Amino acid sequence: MRYLITGGAGFIGSHLAEALLARGDEVFILDDLSTGSVENVRHLKTNARFHYFYDSISNKHLLAELVDESEVVFHLAAAVGVRLIVESPVRTLETNVYGTQQVLDAASKKKKLVFTASTSEVYGKSEKVPFHEDADLVLGPTTKGRWSYAASKALDEFLTLSYWKEKNQPVIIARFFNTVGPRQTGRYGMVLPNFVRQAIEGSPITVYGSGQQSRCFCDVRDTIEAIVRLLGTDRSVGEVVNVGTNEEISIDALACLVKERAGSSSPITHVPYDQAYEPGFEDMLRRVPSLEKLSRLTGFRPSTPLTETIDRVIDHFHARLAPATRSIDGIATTAAASD
Ligand code: UDP
């Protein structure tokens, strides 16, 4: 099979490309490196079935060509990460809404299946856990920047489903819940890479808010397995499906676990939300997926223990730091600090 992955040099995209290549498929990736990194796919570049295009999804001609080449389009290109959303709301909205529209438009001309990546953010501050795919979305006011991300991804979902209903365009939507693993950058606010970097550097591990808020962290390998399985069944077409685990952990407990696994002496500190993000920032206390639908459609439930994922992330950070540390200390510090 031939696949196009928009955002293929990103965290999830690069793992997906790797998995598809490993099973013998051909992969085209389109990425403008706005949040992705060439480092994520460098090891794939020698594979003759891997084709890398450094460009934006707003390049209509290239997008059309790549859609033509592919049988399925994974649309993962998006502005993600709470920090990025709070700091660059215009970019978030434009990338997410305009980008998805471009991809759907190009794919619908050839009726190529589009797999749209969405997020658990769309459930907003709903307290009815576990979140079922058909539950109401509870978003805060438009004056609070954080909700623009949820709104933009909800609009992506509406657009995707409209192409399915009105134009018979085959689509699948996955709502990812806190995916974690090697190559995820902490630059845009994601908690695990930030904690791991802080633990390894021996700097304070910064828990935002009370630390009592909880999340369910899903290993990226499980996420990829879920994606591949969803694609493998016709029953997924036209559906919105949660992808994640339902093992919940508080952010305080996560900080302790990372500290312990890294053998770190970092202190754990608490930072108020308005200092960490912006005044009036609203967080959600719990975020737990219902996995019934994923399980019913694919027979799969992610199950990698969080400790295993944390260890892999720690190893990844060590591996990235090791050669640089040996040669030029200053560069090593810069590389780590930017992650
Ligand atoms: N968080 C934290 N310290 C950090 C980064 C994030 O305590 O350095 C918190 C954040 O406020 C949230 C949780 O960790 O409550 C998960 O944050 P992330 O941005 O990874 O995911 P999301 O908020 O989208 O669930």
Q: What's residue 91's pLDDT?
A: 85
Q: How does pLDDT run across 260-290, given as a tens digit for each residue? A: 999 999 999 999 999 999 888 889 999 999 9
Contact at 8 Å (CB) between 297 and 236?
yes
**pLDDT bucket at 61, cuts 50 / 70 / 90:** very high
The answer, yes or no, to whether any atom of ligand 1 lies below 6 A from the CB of 214, is: no
Residue 125: CATH number of its domain: 3.40.50.720
Specify the number of domains making up the chain: 1
**pLDDT bucket at 323, cuts 50 / 70 / 90:** low
335: enclosing H helix or E strand: helix 329-337
CA distance 109 to 20: 25
Contact at 8 Å (CB) between 248 and 89?
no
Residue 306 corresponds to which tokens in the numbers above? 């969080």
Q: What's residue 83's pLDDT?
A: 80
Q: Is residue 63 part of a domain?
A: yes
Mean per-residue pLDDT over the chain, rounded: 93
The answer, yes or no, to whether any atom of ligand 1 lies below 6 A from the CB of 207, is: yes
Query: Residue range 55-64: average pLDDT?
Result: 96
Smallest Cα–Cα separation from 92: which of 66, 65, 72, 119? 119
Contact at 8 Å (CB) between 240 and 173?
yes
Q: How does pLDDT run across 16-26, given as a tens digit for each residue? A: 999 999 999 99
Residue 25 corresponds to which tokens in the numbers above? 């498929």
Ligand 1: atom nearest CA of 82 is 19
Q: Sign of dihedral through CA atoms 156, 243, 72, 39?
A: positive
Residue 213 CA to ligand 1 centre (angstroms): 9
Q: What's residue 245's pLDDT?
A: 98
Q: Is residue 55 part of a domain?
A: yes
pTM greater than 0.85 = yes
Contact at 8 Å (CB) between 211 and 252?
yes
Residue 327, pLDDT > 60, answer no
Q: What's residue 328's pLDDT?
A: 39
Q: Is residue 330 part of a domain?
A: no
**pLDDT bucket at 164, cuts 50 / 70 / 90:** very high
Supply the residue whose CA is at minimum distance from atom 8 of ligand 1.
191
Q: Is residue 133 part of a domain?
A: yes
CA distance 60 to 78: 16
Contact at 8 Å (CB) between 198 and 206?
yes
**pLDDT bucket at 335, cuts 50 / 70 / 90:** very low
What three-state secondary structure class fits 27?
strand
Residue 53 corresponds to which tokens in the numbers above? 């295009």
Q: How does pLDDT run across 96-137, given as a tens digit for each residue? A: 999 999 999 999 999 999 999 999 999 999 999 999 999 999
Q: What's residue 146's pLDDT?
A: 86
Q: What's residue 320's pLDDT?
A: 86
CA distance 85 to 282: 13
Query: Residue range 314-339: average pLDDT?
Result: 58
Q: What's residue 79's pLDDT?
A: 84
- The DSSP bridge pattern shows strands 2-6 and 26-31 to be parallel
Q: Is residue 339 part of a domain?
A: no
Among 100-109, 214-223, 260-269, 326-335, name the one with the lowest average pLDDT.
326-335
Active site residues: 149
Q: Is residue 283 part of a domain?
A: no
DSSP summary character for residue 275: H
Residue 338, pLDDT > 70, answer no
Q: What's residue 43's pLDDT?
A: 96
Q: Count CB atoms within 10 A of the CB of residue 271.
A: 14
Residue 100 CA to ligand 1 centre (angstroms): 25
In terms of residue numbers, what domain contains 145? 2-180+219-244+292-298
CA distance 25 to 228: 12
The vertex-230 CA angle with 227 and 233, nearest 5°, equals: 150
Ligand 1: atom nearest CA of 273 is 11
CA distance 2 to 4: 7
Q: What's residue 334's pLDDT?
A: 36
CA distance 209 to 212: 8
Share of the chain above pLDDT 90, in %: 85
Q: Sign of dihedral through CA atoms 216, 231, 40, 95?
A: negative
**pLDDT bucket at 145, cuts 50 / 70 / 90:** confident
The answer, yes or no, to whether any atom of ligand 1 lies below 6 A from the CB of 208, is: yes
The answer, yes or no, to whether any atom of ligand 1 lies below 6 A from the CB of 73, is: no
Query: Residue range 24-37: average pLDDT?
Result: 96
Q: Is residue 34 part of a domain?
A: yes
**pLDDT bucket at 82, cuts 50 / 70 / 90:** confident
Residue 227, pLDDT > 60, answer yes
Q: Is residue 124 part of a domain?
A: yes
